[in-house]
Amino acid sequence: MRTSGLRIVFFGTPEFAAYILRELVGRGEEIVSVVTTPPKLSGRGMKLHRSSVEETAMELNIPVLTPAKHRDPEFLEQLRRLNADVFVVVAYKILPKEVFTIPRLGAFNIHASLLPKYRGAAPINWAIIRGEKETGITTFLLDEKVDTGKILLAKSIPIGPDETAGELHDRLMVLGADAALETLHGLADGTLHPVDQPSGFATNAPKIFPKDCIVNFNQPVDQVHNFIRGLSPYPAAYTEVSGHHLKLLRSHIAPDAPQGILPGAFRISEDSKRIFFGTSTDALEITELQREGKRAMSTEEFLRGNAALFHLPNS
C-alpha cells in the first residue's frame, strides 16, 4: 500500500471527520496526533461526551489534544514539537494563522462543496435547499479568511432529485476520504499546484438554526421539496398540524398529486395512506414524518397511529 510518507496532525470534531480519520489510518497514513474540541456535558444526566473524532482517535491509540484556546502558547509549542509535515482539517473551528503556518506544507481543509460555492458551516444542506444538481469535495490551503484559500483539488458528484442531506452527507464523507488521500499524495510528490478560487462565484452556506426550519408552503412545489430534503434528518423542516409540531423528513413530487389544495393545507388520500400539502403551485406528497418526541415513520405507519391529528377516524 502506497502512503504519502507525511507526518500528519488531524483536526476535526463530528462523524464526517471521524470517518476520514479512520480511513487515513486504515490506508497507512501516519497520524501523529489529533486535535479536537474538549468533551462537553450534555444530555439529561449531563454526562461528559467526547467528540466523534476523539472517540475514534482513542480506539486507534492516537494521542489527542483538546485545547480550550488555539493561541495558547503551551498548545502551540505542543504542535511544533510534533514536527508535522501537514495539518489536515475537517469540520473544525476556524484556526488562527499561528496554528496553520506551523507545518512545512501548511494546513489544508476538506470542505463539502465545490468552492467557492457554499462557503460556511452548512454546505450540504444549502446545496440541496438551493436545488443544485451537483456538489462535491474541495481541498484547499487555509488562510485567514473562512473557506477562501487556494484550491488544491476538487471532486464532484451528482445530487439525486429526492436525496436528503443525510444521504448526501454519507456519500460526501466517502468522497472526502478519497480527496484527503489524493491531496496528501499530491503534496508529498509536489504534483499539486494551488490555484486561486474563481472570483464572482462565491455563495454562502451559513449555520442553520431551528427558527430557520419552518416550512413556507407559499413557495413553488420544487422549492418546498428541496427545503424538506435539504434539512433531513437534521435539523429537520417542520410545520404545525392541529397544534402539534411535525418534522417533515421526506417528500416526493408525485405526478398524481391532487389539485386545488391551498398552500399549507393538507389532504389525505382515500385509502388513508398518503398525505399531500398544498404549495403555491402543485401539491407535495410527504412520505416520512415525525411527531415531537416520537420516532420517524413512513406516512402510512404514521397515519395508523395519529389519525386524529389529521381529523381522520381511528382505523
Residue that is written with C-alpha cell 389529521 in the block: 310
Residue 220 has a CB neighbour count (10 Å cut-off) of 13
Predicted local distance difference test score (pLDDT) of residue 200: 86
Q: Which of 42-46, 51-55, 293-297 has the lowest mean pLDDT?
A: 42-46
Residue pLDDT, tens place only, 246-255: 999 999 999 9
CA distances, 84 to each of 30, 74, 103, 164, 223 (Å)? 10, 17, 6, 37, 46
pLDDT at position 315 is 41
User: Which one has a higher pLDDT value, 225 or 292?
Assistant: 225
Q: Under a CB-based contact definition with an 8 Å cutoff, are residues 281 and 274 in contact?
A: no
Range list for CATH 3.40.50.170 in the chain: 7-189
The predicted pLDDT at position 199 comes to 82
**Rounded CA gap, 107 and 99, in Å?**
9
Q: Which fold has domain 7-189?
A: Rossmann fold (3.40.50)
Task: Flag whether pLDDT at 243 surpasses 90.
Answer: no
In this structure, what C-alpha cell is assigned to residue 220? 413553488
Mean pLDDT, residues 94-105: 97
Q: Residue 308 has what pLDDT?
A: 75
The three-class DSSP label of residue 182 is helix
| Model confidence pLDDT, tens digit, residues 170-193 | 999 999 999 999 999 999 999 999
Q: Is the pLDDT of residue 274 over 80?
A: yes
| pLDDT score, position 312 | 54
Each residue's pLDDT tens digit, 108-164: 999 999 999 999 999 999 999 999 999 999 999 999 999 999 999 999 999 999 999
Return the pLDDT at 314.
47
Judge if the upstream peptide bond of residue 233 is cis by omega within 30 degrees of 0. Answer: yes
pLDDT over 70 (residue 222) = yes
Q: Please state which architecture CATH assigns to domain 210-310.
A: Roll (3.10)
Surface-to-core class of residue 303, CB atoms within 10 Å of its CB (0-12 exposed, 13-18 middle, 19+ buried): buried
- Segments of the chain assigned to CATH 3.10.25.10: 210-310
Contact 76, 99 (CB under 8 A): yes
